[in-house]
Structure 1
Amino acid sequence: MNDSPGWAVPGPSPSDGERPGASDGRDGTEGGTPPPAGGPKWSAEQPPPGEWSSPGTPQAPKAPQQQPQPGAGWGSYGGPQGPQGGQWGKPPAAKPGVIPLRPLDLGEILDGAVATMRTHWRTVLPITLVVATVVQVISVLVQKYTYADLAVASDPGSGDSLKEAFDALGGSMVALLANGFVQLIGTIVATAMLTMIFSRAVLGHGSSIGEAWREARPQLLRLLGLTLLLALGGIVIVLVPLLPGILLGNVGIAVAGGVAALPLLIWLALKFSLASPALMLEKSSVITSLRRSSRLVQGSWWRIFGITALTGLITAFVSAIIVWPLTAVGLAIGFADSGMEGLENGTAATGWAPLILSAVGAVIAQTITMPIQSGVTVLLYVDQRIRREALDLELARAAGLENYGPDAAAPPTGG
């Protein structure tokens, strides 16, 4: 897949909506071919259609003409045709894989992500299941022992409680950082492998776990660097406006700075949201992938924001209906074991039953939602390249489709 011409870095990109060699028909051409010069000149008055006949031949009765109905008939590109021959709806497109090779709408992007997960579940679900399970097992252990240490250290009846609290807090921070690092590595590995699976699914190709790993492995360190760079940039963007309020000890100024930083943070996050698939599929460097994402998002920020936000809402809702019931059952078990005292000191939420049930819910939710989020990002990248760089032509060639392009549907011209 990494040698497929569809994912190579393009040369000078055509403007949005252009296709090389295509004509819109406004200059009297069809498929880019000019009309023959010096053709016969016709009279301005011609018999109505259906009234042509040889001299002396009796004319058959005319059948009443029917006006085309909306949605009936097909134009030269196969789309529904209106009364004046104008095309209604989208033109058909080849669909070698999970998406049609043309600019996509929201429904097609979401459907492509779900269709890939459904069609290639033997590859997709094991990856996300293993990553989610490893992350949640470590998270349960960290929460169980660090929170227990904090509860013991904060006991007012113990001696030297302040020193014990600081020691427990330091150990908890180390454990939480380690847990966060494991989650980061797991997310990066899953994202890299899922990107390769989705890129092959666009062409109608399957992919095994071993193939996805071999294709993703060379770019893992760069993807880690890209993720850390974006995280560091986000921290700086949030921290700088907070500094005046922190230094002055004024909560109001600090809150105002944080609110002011939020729009910039969202804008930059969307601007570089396509850097990950660009880095993985184009085998580019970190800086090049950031530039590519910025170029692809330019002019489509609000559209990408809407699709990304809607995807986040859908995945959050799916996660909530899976995690919350199991978490509630776990808390009920913890309350039954420790009573009101457990609710007051927090031990009801750190028992084995609530932690394990919450982790089971998180594993199920992440196994389902992680492929959807990764798939939407990859398909947004593909969609933007189709719109800006005619990537559909390259993908059709890579998929082995013959006679695909703007001239394939044009009728032959007479000589």
Structure 2
Amino acid sequence: MTAYPAWTPVTRPGIIPLRPLTFGLVLGRSFSALRQNPRVLLGFAVLVQSVATFLGTTVIVAVSVPAFLRLDTLRPGTPAFDQVLAGSVAMVLAASVLIGLALSALSVLVQGVVVSEVAHAVVAEKLTLRVLWARVKPVAWRLVGYTLLLSLATLVVLGAVVAAVVALVFADVLSGVLLGVGLGLAAIPLVLWLTVKLLLVAPTIILEHATIRGALARSWSLTRGRFWPMLGVVVIISMAFATLGQLVSVPFSLATTAVSTVLTPTGDPETSGFVLLIVGGLLTQAVTVLIQAVSLIVQSTATSLLYIDARMRREGLDQDLLAYVERRDAGVADLPDPYRLHVGRVIAPTPAYAYGYAPSPGYPGSPAYPPYAPYPPAPPAGAAPGWPTGAPAPTGPTGAPAPGVAAPPEGWTAPDGSAPPAEGPAPWARP
């Protein structure tokens, strides 16, 4: 054994950085899961959408054709004809509602697989469809139940509003129309608000294994303070794919109609015209199914990223994910699911400082300086402070005369300034 630590491989990056995400990052990385695992996600989504579309169309045709064929045996305008017509319309509407609920249930299962894939792609893990379905299977019925409850509640409220408006229209046309327009305009912000507040219910059920009631409460709290960014992501992605669907399906429909008109200019039914219409319809439906599958994957990915970002901001999920990645790359086995740790934890917000740098952790901050003393008031203009008065200047001792100049000695005369001084012997003369 060596004293040096073992080599640890570099941590693999996931589809997002493990930190709170910006609006543009969430919007841009919503396509990352599809690029990372397209065979699993796109294949599963296209398969489910194709089966759902085929079954839905088959059931609608099987119900509507026999129901309306009964009208051929009755005379129009008779009470029996009106009753059969009303019953046929009711049967088709009921079948459409049931098919819509079934399609919603299948779509939420696709969303469950996508959410599970995104949760693992964040920590750089790529799973197979079998493993992903094994993780979604324990909460599959919970997801379906939530979707059915939400759809039924929407139908009940919408049906009550439509019935009230129709009843008012029969009583007073103008009042009914005004009420319908007002309720429609008021429903737009309400629907958008409820869409955002319930946006994170499915990821909460899938990743936390929460109950429907608990997931509703969790979604309500996690979306608090993040309404506008979440609404922006949902609206932009929905509008983008709705526009793309129209841009792709409308040209196919127009081309099919134009070619059919060229082949049958007289309008007589011919075999080639019917075949062309069927082929064109199938191509249009295939492209529509593909766009719907991609849209479902991207929207589910965006919802998953919004859920992860909300938990990073409120509960510090990024720290749990970082710890999971580090321990996994270090070779630790049987790690707990990081998405089910510290659920509901609220991290302390970072304190805001008025200015300057925050004090280093672990060290006390510098004490504040005391306030400065006020300056003395300035003297009035024109008056300068004088010398102190009242104390005399110090004087020397009295009684002793001042010292004078010393007198010269006797016999001394001052030299004459006109006579030059006597010359001494030259310094070089020999003595």
State whether TM-score is above 0.5: yes
- 5 Å matches for 1:182-331? 182-239=102-159, 241-242=161-162, 244-249=164-169, 250-331=176-257
Aligned to 2:416: none
Which consecutive residues of structure 1, in runs of 5 or more, have no partner in the other structure? 1-93, 404-410
User: RMSD of the TM alignment (CA)?
Assistant: 3.7
Label 1:393 to 1:353 Cα distance change in 2 as closer, same or farther (>3 A): same
The Cα of 1:356 is off from its aligned counterpart by: 1.7
Alpha-carbon distance change, 154 to 231 in structure 1, aligned in 2, over 3 angstroms: same
Find the aligned partners of 2:186 and 2:163 in 1 and give their Cα distance.
13
Give, in whole Å, the separation in 2 of the partners of 1:253 and 1:332: 42
Give the Cα separation in 2 of the matches to 1:358 and 1:173.
Answer: 24
Distance (Å, rounded) in 1 between the aligned partners of 2:253 and 2:13: 42
Paired residue for 2:309, among 383, 399, 406?
383
> For 2:150 and 2:127, how far apart are their aligned partners in 1?
29
Alignment partner for residue 298 of structure 2, among 364, 369, 372?
Answer: 372
Q: CA separation in 2, counterparts of 1:283 and 1:246? A: 43
From the CA coordinates, give the structure whose radius of gyration is larger.
2
Native 8 Å contact 2:23 2:229 kept in 1: no
Structure 2 portions without partners, runs of 5+: 1-10, 170-175, 331-359, 364-431
Cα drift, residue 220 of structure 1? 1.1
Question: Which amino acid letter does the alignment assign opposite residue 298 of structure 1?
Answer: R
- CA gap of 1:227–1:101, structure 2 versus 1, over 3 A, is same
Residue 244 of structure 1: how far off its partner (Å): 4.3
Cα distance, 1:132 vs structure 2: 1.3
| Aligned mates of 1:342, 1:169 — CA distance in 2 | 30
1:103 aligns with 20
Q: Report the CA distance between 1:243 and its aligned residue.
A: 5.3
Which has the higher mean CA deviation after the structures are superposed, 109-118 or 321-330? 321-330
How far the C-alpha of 1:413 sits from its partner, in A, is 10
Task: Tell me if the contact between 2:198 and 2:220 (Cα under 8 Å) persists in the aligned partners.
Answer: yes
Instruction: Check whether the contact 2:109–2:144 (CA below 8 A) recurs between aligned residues.
Output: no
Which position in structure 2 is the counterpart of 1:7?
none
Q: Once the 2 structures are TM-superposed, how far is the Cα of residue 323 of structure 1 from its aligned partner?
A: 2.5
Aligned partners of 1:340, 1:175: CA distance in 2, in Å? Answer: 37
Question: Following the alignment from structure 1 to structure 2, what is the Cα–Cα distance between the partners of residues 153 and 105?
Answer: 59
Aligned mates of 1:127, 1:320 — CA distance in 2 = 24
Q: How does 1:331-350 map to 2 (within 5 A)?
A: 331-332=257-258
The equivalent residue for 1:115 is 32
User: Is the 1:322–1:364 Cα contact (8 Å) retained in structure 2?
Assistant: no
Is 1:141 equivalent to 2:58 in the alignment?
A: yes
3-state SS, counterpart of residue 399 of structure 1: helix
Aligned length: 312
Q: CA 1:282 to 1:147, structure 2 compared with 1: closer, same or farther past 3 Å?
A: same
Deviates more, 1:277-286 or 1:258-267: 258-267
CA distance in 2, matches of 1:202, 1:217: 21
Asked if the contact 1:114–1:372 (Cα under 8 Å) also holds between the matched residues in 2, the reply is yes
> Residue type matched to 1:130 in 2?
L
Write out per-residue CA displacement over residues 229-265 of structure 1, whole angstroms, 9 at most, x where no aligned residue. 3223434554555554333332322332232233222
Aligned match of 1:357: 283
Give the superposition deviation at 1:288: 0.6
Q: Note if contact 2:197-2:223 (Cα within 8 Å) is conserved in structure 1.
A: yes
CA deviation map 1:153-172 (0-9, x unaligned): 67799666535533432442
The CA deviation at 1:123 is 1.3
Match in the other structure for 1:40: none
Q: Does structure 1 conserve the Cα–Cα contact (< 8 Å) formed by 2:192 and 2:231?
A: no
Structure-2 change in CA distance of 1:168 and 1:333 (3 Å): farther
AA aligned to 1:191 is Q
Higher relative contact order (CA 8 A, sep 6+): 1
* 2:85 corresponds to: 165
- Shift of the alpha carbon at 1:207? 1.1
User: What is the identity, as a one-letter code, of the residue corresponding to 1:133?
Assistant: S
Deviations 1:113-137 (A, max 9, x none): 2121111112111111111111222
Q: Helix, strand or coil: the match of 1:134?
A: helix
Q: Residues 365 and 100 of structure 1: is their aligned pair in 2 closer, same or farther, counting only changes over 3 Å?
A: same
Change (3 A) 1:137 1:241: closer
Q: Identity percentage over the alignment?
A: 24
Task: Rate the CA distance shift 1:334–1:126 in 2: closer, same or farther, 3 A.
Answer: same
- Contact 1:244-1:253 within 8 A present in 2 as well: no
Partner residue, 1:21: none
Contact 2:139 2:206 in 1 (8 A): yes
Residues 110 and 254 of structure 1: CA distance in aligned 2, closer, same or farther (over 3 Å): closer
CA distance, structure 2, for counterparts of residue 208 and residue 299 of structure 1:
36
What per-residue deviation string (whole Å, max 9, x for no partner) do you get for residues 391-411 of structure 1? 1001112223689xxxxxxx9
Question: What is the match of residue 85 of structure 1?
Answer: none
TM-score (norm 2): 0.63
CA distance in 1, matches of 2:268, 2:118: 46
Matches within 5 A, 1:50-129: 96-129=13-46
User: Distance in 2 between the 1:135 and 1:333 partners?
Assistant: 29
1:183 positional shift: 1.1
**Counterpart AA for 1:282:** E
Q: Residues 144 and 352 of structure 1 are in contact (CA less than 8 Å); yes or no, is this contact kept in structure 2?
A: no
